[in-house]
């Protein structure tokens, strides 16, 4: 599946927004590394979101 709403977590990895928000509601660690996160601030991955939109427009 292609991501719909990519966001970057403090671990530097990009996740589907709903999935990472659900994870962070119960965890203080990275789902990728299992290391503690310094905070729970999420940032939209606009570059990836734009690339996904462009890909979808060409492939759907």
Tokens coding 45: 């991955």
Confidence band, pLDDT 50/70/90 cuts, at residue 60: confident
Q: How many helices (H) and strands (E) does the chain have?
A: 2, 3
pLDDT score, position 15? 99
Q: State the pTM of this model.
A: 0.90
Into which CATH architecture does domain 6-59 fall?
A: 2-Layer Sandwich (3.30)
pLDDT tens digits, residue range 3-51? 999 999 999 999 999 999 999 999 999 999 999 999 999 999 999 999 9
pLDDT score, position 51? 97
d(CA 3, CA 6): 6
Q: Which residues pair with 14 in a beta bridge?
A: 8
How far is C-alpha 17 from the geometric centre of its chain's CA atoms? 5
pLDDT score, position 32? 98
């Amino acid at each position: 599946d292609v991501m719909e709403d990519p966001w970057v977590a403090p671990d530097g990895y990009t996740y589907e927004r709903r999935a990472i928000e659900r994870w962070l509601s119960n965890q203080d660690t990275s789902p990728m590394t299992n290391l503690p996160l310094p905070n729970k601030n999420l940032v939209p991955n606009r570059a990836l979101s734009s690339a996904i939109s462009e890909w979808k427009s060409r492939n759907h």
